[in-house]
């Protein structure tokens, strides 16, 4: 080994991994002194082979793909689960999870929160299926598992009164309150808290004084089922009106039993049987006509049959078998929230289960707090409140959202962690808010088996078209997707239509109608898909393509502006010219236009001429006057709206 330039010197050097040890000559016994102990020909050969194997092993590891084990158990995970909590649920060491995260190029500590989707993927890597729960559901899961029927007691029903304007909702509420709540200041209760309770035959009934369908809808859109029974008020001298139909739609969508109160039966022109017929046409058949809808004739003004209405409420509640456990931690929903100058953030909460006490820590959406004070529906300070009771809560860090779940917690550190997680998620949603279903997304979801039912709100220019289109769309239902027309109405697309679409993930289809301005703004904010059509077969084809996963729009419509017709002129050679004021946007010479009369499309065409005074103009901006002539059309009237748009190639759709 030490001989200069000899073979032993060459063999004494560290060999290159690619050297072939097998080609060396056999070792000479007389030269054993040239090697160190254990480094003879056999040792060198062994070393080279080991080196070769060491070189190959990493390559073999890189080539093997990770194959998750078979699923052998199921775990529950909640939002904001940490690496440590997930490892405990999986029954493995936390460092194994951290290593798996590193393999995914994610560097996290054991106390770091995980996205729910990522937690599900990690659990699958370790052979576990996941059952997703919210934090509130997880905190009450163990209590529900150990709870027995003996712990549950009968609770009062929660009732919401809805109906058309001037049909007597407020009068009915006041009449019930005055008849059943002696000695209370008239009007003071609902002004104070927006909810109250009355007693009938020794049993309590909680009433929610909702300001209208919008609040009811927004609460349900956040997953809050606060109402057990809806009382639909219909005036016997007026009949079923638009807001009555809206109330029916919302109650049915919430799957809440309806009791119809036929009000104003004391009037000489009252026709209760006519009301029953109109409601029967809308799917509500009275019990005395062989149906299952309770209908009670009442008079709020004369205080007639109010006891009968309350008894029917208790009867329907008895059938529902409403029960709750007053011994568990309190949980409920926020009915109303405001910022009081002297008291800070104040929330009106309806307790659904358990008991809420002063001093309890709670989580409410992305708000954490401790109950400092409770006030009942009479404004009296109380120490605790039980199931189905409304209460005003003080002690919130900030104002929660209406409809948020209110949950008492014992692990305050975990609750604060969840609040931070939800605030971060809320910021992400605000930055990219697009969680509504569109036709473009429908086929992608169908491939994953997510969409079973496609809800549609249909608005048309005439009633006959609404019926035909509703039938046509429902006949397009397949074994994969069932089309459900939630509402088929006549007239412009209103704010109410958009609100119903937000709660039911519906798509709005307008046929020869346009959305009102406020409705358009809300639809853009809520990312509601509004499809506007003028030809039935094009609408049917679009729905078929969406349902079969073939929707591939190449062109999209871009709104440019709108102008109001102030006067109409007959000009020689130019024909009919509309003197207009541009209300918003810009009217360009190459625009296509729709002529709207009472928000109904009466004509679609192209701009033939655009002039400012006597000069031709290429475009006219908002606030300026102009003259517009529409190609091959002259039936223009003052008050009409000319809406300009262009069609552009949708590069994203083509790609």
**What mean pLDDT is predicted for residues 427-441?**
58
What pTM does this model have? 0.53
| 548 and 560 fall within a common domain | no
Let me know if residue 486 belongs to a domain. Answer: yes
CA–CA separation, 136 vs 363, rounded Å?
8
The last residue of a domain, from among 274, 293, 321: 321
pLDDT at 574 over 80: no
Residue 86 has pLDDT above 50, yes or no: yes
Reported as half-sphere exposure (CB side, CA atoms, 13 A), residue 624 has a value of: 17
pLDDT for the residue numbered 417: 76
Distance CA 457, CA 542 (A): 16
Residue with the bigger pLDDT between 365 and 260: it is 260
Which of 273, 294, 321 terminates a domain? The answer is 321
Beta pairing partners, 367: 364
Whether residue 266 is found in the same domain as residue 172: yes
- 148 lies in some domain: no
Q: Which domain does 199 fall in, by range?
A: 157-321
Count of beta carbons in the 10 Å neighbourhood of residue 567: 11
- The CATH number linked to 299 is 3.40.50.300
Position 563 scores a pLDDT of 94
Q: How confident is the model at residue 38 (pLDDT cuts 50, 70, 90)?
A: very low
Q: Enumerate residues 6+ apart whose C-beta is below 8 A from 48.
A: 15, 17, 19, 21
Which residues in 597-630 are b (16+ Cβ under 10 Å) and which e? eebbbbbeeebbbbbeeeeebebbeeeeebbbbb
Q: Which of residues 431, 453, 472 is at a domain's end?
A: 431
Cα–Cα distance list, 380 to 87, 189, 214, 261, 625 (Å): 48, 11, 29, 32, 61
Residue 409 in contact with residue 139, Cβ under 8 Å?
yes
Looking at every residue in the chain, the average pLDDT score rounds to: 76
Cα distance between residue 123 and residue 127, in whole Å: 6
Residue 281, pLDDT > 60, answer yes
In 402-496 the beta strands, taken as DSSP E runs, fall at: 405-409, 453-460, 482-490
Regarding whether 304 and 210 lie in a shared domain, the answer is yes
**pLDDT class for 468, splitting at 50, 70, 90?**
confident
The reply to whether 183 and 317 lie within a common domain is yes
First vs last C-alpha separation in the chain: 69
Position 138 in a domain: no
For residues 76 and 246, give the distance between their C-alpha atoms in angstroms, rounded to a whole number. 38
Q: Cα–Cα–Cα angle for 596, 598, 604, nearest 5°?
A: 15
Instruction: Answer yes or no: is 167 within a domain.
Output: yes
Overall size of the chain counted in residues: 655
Q: Is 372 domain-assigned?
A: yes
- Quote the pLDDT of residue 535: 82
- For 287-338, the pLDDT digits (tens) are 888 888 888 888 888 888 888 888 899 998 888 888 888 888 888 888 877 7
Q: Is residue 396 part of a domain?
A: yes
At residue 578 the predicted structure's pLDDT band, cuts being 50, 70 and 90, is very high
CA distances from 545 to 110, 539, 540, 565 (A): 47, 10, 9, 38
Measured CA to CA, the distance from residue 495 to residue 485 in angstroms comes to 18
Find the mean pLDDT for residues 75-101: 81
**pLDDT reading at 470 higher than 90:** no
> Residue 139 falls within a domain, yes or no?
no
Name residue 604's beta-bridge partners. Answer: 594
Decide if pLDDT at 5 tops 80: no
| Cα separation, 358 vs 490, whole angstroms | 51
Residue 225 sits in the same domain as residue 298: yes
Q: Are residues 230 and 302 in the same domain?
A: yes
Residue 57 has pLDDT above 80, yes or no: no
pLDDT of residue 586: 92
- Counting the structural domains of the chain, the total is 6
Same domain for 77 and 170 = no
How many angstroms separate the Cα of 32 from the Cα of each of 41, 46, 65? 10, 17, 47
Tell me the CA distances in angstroms from 248 to 242, 292, 500, one per residue in order.
Answer: 10, 15, 12
The CATH number of the domain holding residue 578 is: 2.40.30.10
Cβ atoms of 628 and 589 closer than 8 Å: no
Three-state SS at 87: helix
Residues 455 and 517 in one domain: yes
CATH code, domain carrying 446: 3.40.50.10050
The answer to whether residue 142 sits within a structural domain is no
Calculate mean pLDDT across residues 27-45.
Answer: 49
Same domain? For 545 and 460 the reply is: yes
Residues 504 and 363 placed together within one structural domain of the fold: no
H or E stretch at 218: helix 213-221
74 vs 70: CA distance, rounded Å: 12
The pLDDT score that the predictor gives to residue 579 is 93
Examine the domain organization and report whether 124 and 248 are in the same domain: no
Q: What are phi and psi of 206, to 5 degrees?
A: -100, 130
Same domain flag for 292 and 189: yes
Q: Which of 569, 576, 648 is nearest to 609 (CA)?
A: 576
pLDDT at position 321 = 85
Measured in degrees and rounded to the nearest 5, phi and psi for residue 199 equal -120, 135
Give residue for tokens 């009633």.
463
**pLDDT score recorded for residue 267:** 82
* Helix, strand or coil, per DSSP, at residue 325: coil
């Amino acid at each position: 080994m030490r001989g200069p330039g000899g073979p032993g010197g060459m063999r004494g050097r560290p060999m290159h991994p690619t050297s072939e040890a097998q080609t060396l000559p056999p070792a000479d016994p007389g030269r054993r002194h040239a090697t160190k102990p254990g480094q003879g020909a056999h040792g060198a050969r062994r070393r080279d082979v080991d080196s070769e194997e060491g070189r190959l092993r990493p390559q073999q590891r890189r080539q093997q793909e990770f194959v998750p084990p078979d699923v052998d158990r199921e775990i529950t995970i909640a939002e904001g689960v940490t690496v440590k909590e997930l490892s405990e649920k999986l029954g493995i060491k936390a460092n194994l999870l951290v290593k798996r995260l590193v393999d995914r190029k994610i560097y996290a500590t054991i106390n770091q929160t995980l996205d729910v989707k990522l937690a599900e993927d990690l659990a699958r890597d370790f052979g576990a299926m996941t059952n997703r729960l919210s934090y509130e559901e997880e905190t009450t899961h163990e209590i529900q598992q150990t709870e027995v029927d003996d712990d549950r007691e009968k609770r009062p029903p929660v009732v919401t009164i809805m109906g058309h304007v001037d049909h007597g909702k407020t009068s009915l509420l006041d009449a019930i309150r005055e008849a059943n709540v002696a000695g209370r200041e008239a009007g003071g209760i609902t002004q104070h808290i927006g909810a109250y309770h009355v007693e009938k035959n020794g049993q309590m009934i909680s009433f929610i004084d909702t300001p209208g369908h919008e609040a009811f809808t927004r609460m349900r859109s956040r997953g809050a089922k606060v109402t057990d029974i809806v009382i639909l008020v219909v005036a016997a001298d007026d009949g079923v009106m638009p807001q009555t139909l809206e109330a029916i739609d919302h109650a049915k969508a919430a799957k809440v039993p309806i009791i119809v109160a036929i009000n104003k039966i004391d009037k000489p022109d009252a026709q209760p049987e006519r009301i029953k017929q109109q409601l029967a046409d809308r799917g509500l058949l009275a019990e005395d006509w062989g149906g299952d809808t309770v209908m009670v004739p009442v008079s709020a003004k004369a205080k007639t049959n109010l006891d009968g209405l309350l008894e029917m409420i208790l009867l329907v509640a008895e059938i529902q078998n409403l029960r709750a456990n007053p011994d568990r931690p309190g949980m409920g929903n926020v009915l109303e929230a405001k910022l009081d100058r002297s008291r800070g953030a104040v929330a009106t909460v309806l307790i659904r289960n358990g008991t809420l006490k002063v001093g309890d820590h709670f989580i409410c959406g992305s708000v954490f707090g401790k109950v400092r004070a409770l006030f009942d529906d009479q404004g009296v300070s109380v120490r605790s409140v039980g199931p189905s009771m409304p209460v005003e809560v003080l002690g919130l860090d900030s104002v929660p959202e209406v409809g948020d779940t209110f949950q008492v917690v014992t692990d305050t550190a975990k609750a604060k962690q969840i609040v931070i997680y939800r605030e971060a998620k809320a910021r992400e949603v605000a930055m990219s808010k697009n969680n509504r279903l569109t036709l473009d997304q429908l086929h992608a979801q169908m491939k994953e088996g997510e969409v079973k039912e496609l809800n549609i709100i249909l608005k048309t220019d005439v009633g006959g078209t609404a019926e035909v289109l509703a039938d046509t769309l429902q006949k397009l239902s397949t074994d994969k997707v069932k089309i459900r027309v939630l509402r088929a109405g006549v007239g412009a697309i209103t704010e109410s239509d958009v609100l119903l679409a937000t709660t039911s993930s519906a798509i709005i289809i307008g046929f020869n109608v346009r959305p009102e301005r406020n409705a358009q703004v809300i639809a853009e904010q809520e990312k509601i898909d509004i499809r506007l059509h003028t030809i039935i077969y094009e609408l049917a084809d679009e729905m078929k393509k969406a349902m079969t996963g073939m929707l591939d729009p190449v062109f999209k419509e871009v709104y440019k502006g709108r102008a109001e017709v102030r006067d109409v002129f007959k000009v020689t050679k130019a024909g009919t010219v509309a003197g207009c004021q541009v209300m918003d946007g810009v009217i360009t010479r190459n625009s296509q236009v729709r002529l709207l009369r009472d928000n109904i499309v009466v004509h679609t065409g192209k701009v033939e001429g655009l002039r400012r005074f006597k000069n031709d103009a290429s475009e006219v901006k908002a606030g300026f006057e102009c003259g517009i002539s529409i190609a091959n059309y002259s039936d223009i009237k003052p008050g009409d709206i000319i809406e300009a748009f262009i069609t552009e190639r949708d590069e994203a759709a083509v790609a």
